[in-house]
Amino acid sequence: HLQLVESGGGLVQPGGSLRLSCTASGFTLDYYPIGWFRQAPGKEREGVSCINSSNDSTNYADSVKGRFTISRDNAKNTVYLQMDSLKPEDTAIYYCVITRFCTKTTIGGAFGSWGQGTQVTVSS
C-alpha cells in the first residue's frame, strides 16, 4: 500500500531553519505532484507548498514564499521542505500528501490518507 512518512520537525528559535522530509513507499513518488500542508491548533489545514511531477515546477503559499523551498530527490523517493527564517506563526504539524492541483493559485486536491505529520515549533 502507498504510504508517505514525514520527518524532520523539531523545536527551533525564530529565525532558525529546519528541513522536513517526505519519504514514499509503495509507489513511485515522481509520478505525482506532492504537497506540504500544515495545521496549527484551532486552525484549518492549509497548503504550504507543492512540487509537480512533470517538470518539478513549484508553488508556495504567500505566507512562506521566499523562506521555504520544496525539492524532490527521485533516487531517494523523497520530497523535502527546506524551512528558513522560521517565524512563530509557522508552528504547526506539517503533512505531505499526493496533491492533484499544484498551481500558483491552488495547492489542493489531496488524496490518499493523511499520516501523523511532523511537529514544527518555533519559539524563543
For 68-83, how does the pLDDT look when each residue is reduced to its tens digit (9 = 90+)?
999 999 899 999 999 9
Quote the pLDDT of residue 31: 85
Please check the confidence at residue 1 and state whether its pLDDT lies above 80: no
User: pLDDT tens across 5-49, in order?
Assistant: 999 999 999 999 999 999 998 888 888 999 999 999 999 999 999
Give the pLDDT confidence score for residue 124 in this predicted structure.
Answer: 93
Residue 61 CB neighbours (<10 A): 16
Q: How far apart (Å, rounded) are the C-alpha atoms in residues 99 and 108?
A: 6
Model pLDDT, residue 113 = 85
Tell me, what's the pLDDT at 27? 83
> Across all residues in the chain, what is the average pLDDT?
94
